[in-house]
């Protein structure tokens, strides 16, 4: 795979998948009379950030996902450079693992969150809410920021100045995510299912 192939994958597969998933869900959830899907929409977006961070840095790691937020989304909204790590911790880890964004206590004060459809409030930090300070998160501008970040990432991949390192990381990250997991790696987590599949194999 060369830089052109990586760019095509990002533009024609990943962006399309993101648009198909989020675009349709947003229109389904968004209604002037009944706004629904507050957790579903952010939960749908953060795995793309994890995936992009793995491609960007070559390894599936939360720090790499945060690096993608800071380095790429931060080009379009400087707030990501300040609180990108907190956004990932509060919304990604909270929603994927526990179905609830995480709350924090910093310097003895409670830090909460608010998911909103008011796009102008995206990444706003405000005492208006249930906690001493609340992080406002709007899924739609986050979605558009991810699309813009992918375009910028593609530009960097095709730029000879950055291409070699970015392409090596892209290949390494992609291979790590697409590889087959050996039985010995998954046996402790999926022993019953593995035994069942073994009984079905010829």
Domain with 180 in it: 3-104+137-200
pLDDT tens digits for range 71-102: 999 999 999 999 999 999 999 999 999 989 99
The C-alpha atoms of residue 168 and residue 171 are separated, in whole angstroms, by 5
Residue 21 lies in a domain: yes
Is residue 57, in this structure, part of any structural domain at all? yes
Structure tokens at 122: 């995206």
Structural domain includes residue 177: yes
Answer whether residue 187 is part of any domain: yes
- Compute the distance between CA of residue 34 and CA of residue 47 in angstroms, rounded to an integer: 26
* Residue 149: inside a domain: yes
pLDDT of residue 27: 83
Residue count of the chain: 202
Domain assignment present for residue 173? The answer is yes
The predicted-structure confidence for 104-116, as pLDDT tens digits, reads as follows 999 999 999 999 8
Number of domains the chain is built from: 1
- Position 26 confidence tier, pLDDT thresholds 50, 70, 90: confident
Residue 142 lies in a domain: yes
């Amino acid at each position: 795979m060369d830089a052109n192939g990586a760019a095509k994958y990002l533009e024609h597969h990943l962006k399309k998948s993101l648009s198909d998933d989020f675009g349709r869900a947003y229109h389904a959830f968004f209604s002037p009379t009944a706004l629904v899907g507050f957790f579903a929409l952010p939960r749908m977006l953060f795995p793309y950030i994890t995936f992009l961070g793995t491609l960007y840095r070559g390894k599936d790691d939360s720090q790499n996902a945060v690096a993608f937020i800071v380095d790429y989304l931060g080009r379009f909204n400087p707030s990501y450079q300040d609180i990108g790590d907190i956004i990932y911790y509060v919304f990604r880890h909270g929603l994927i693992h526990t179905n609830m964004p995480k709350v924090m206590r910093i310097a003895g004060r409670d830090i909460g969150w608010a998911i909103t459809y008011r796009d102008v409030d995206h990444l706003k930090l405000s005492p208006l809410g249930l906690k001493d300070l609340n992080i406002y998160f709007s899924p739609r501008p986050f979605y558009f920021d991810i699309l813009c970040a992918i375009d910028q990432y593609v530009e960097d991949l095709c730029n000879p100045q950055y291409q070699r390192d970015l392409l090596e990381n892209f290949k390494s990250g992609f291979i790590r995510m697409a590889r087959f997991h050996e039985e010995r790696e998954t046996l402790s987590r999926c022993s019953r299912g593995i035994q069942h599949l073994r009984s079905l194999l010829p």
